[in-house]
Structure 1
């Protein structure tokens, strides 16, 4: 699992980021935000005390910019944004230290994906059937 990387505070007067550095920061932050979609990784962070570190909490606040559509479109696991939001709350961060809590969240995600997949197949099948019926009933 990826270890979180903490950025140093950047001020306009002391540091100018090159294009290559900005690209690397973007990729690193994208990877880290996507890791937040994994409840087992969140449990790992909680058990190692990351969620008690003020700098790390501030880093999670900084990462909120990923909710903007121009950044969110790069996420493969959009549920990471929901977890990023929940991580803003101390109570949620505390609960994640409990392995059973992380397992429950993981199980709920699995159930959601299974239900979503089934529903999607049903909807696509119904749409295909509707299109076929429209073709058959169209006068030539």
Structure 2
């Protein structure tokens, strides 16, 4: 093998290695971008659970912009179980559903409307907690062994 024959092979090997490095870096950047997008969309969807934030968006005209309305429609994928499992505030999905309706979006401009929704959410959580505790206690009572009425054997 002549020295001249190995140089083109070496150049090819170096170019091949560099292109694989570039692809690996590109894939890692793409993965990072997807992760960041997931986190941003997760955070934004959960912000929709806050009626005061919805009022803020409505008062600044976001709900009148077709691009924003399209984005809200796009975010409906969060209702799929494989995405919904990451939500800490599941009521955001109900708000996302309601935001698909123009009438609801228009009503959110009103601060009393946002206050009413906020109050209803608080009431829901208060009663939800009480009902959960009651169900939990009932379940605990069912799991308790019945008291023995017989005297212990002597």
* C-alpha distance in structure 1 between counterparts of 2:95 and 2:120, whole Å: 13
**2:96 is the alignment partner of 1:84:** yes
* C-alpha distance in structure 2 between counterparts of 1:64 and 1:118, whole Å: 31
Q: Which residue in 1 is equivalent to 2:14?
A: none
Q: Which residue in 2 is equivalent to 1:8?
A: none
Q: Which residue in 1 is equivalent to 2:18?
A: none
* C-alpha distance in structure 1 between counterparts of 2:56 and 2:110, whole Å: 10
Unaligned runs of 5+ in 2: 1-26, 149-154
**Aligned partner (choices 116, 135, 140) of residue 128 of structure 2:** 116
* C-alpha distance in structure 1 between counterparts of 2:104 and 2:133, whole Å: 34
Deviation at 1:130, TM superposition (A): 1.1
Number of residue-to-residue matches in the alignment: 121
RMSD after superposition: 1.4
Superposition map of 1:37-116 within 5 A:
37-116=49-128
Q: What TM-score does the superposition give when structure 2 sets the normalisation length? A: 0.76
Q: Deviations over 1:49-84 (max 9, x none)?
A: 000111100100110100100000000001100100
Q: What TM-score does the superposition give when structure 1 sets the normalisation length? A: 0.83
Relative contact order, higher structure (CA 8 A, sep 6+): 1
**Higher alpha-carbon Rg:** 2
Structure number having the greater helix percentage: 2
Unaligned runs of 5+ in 1: 1-15
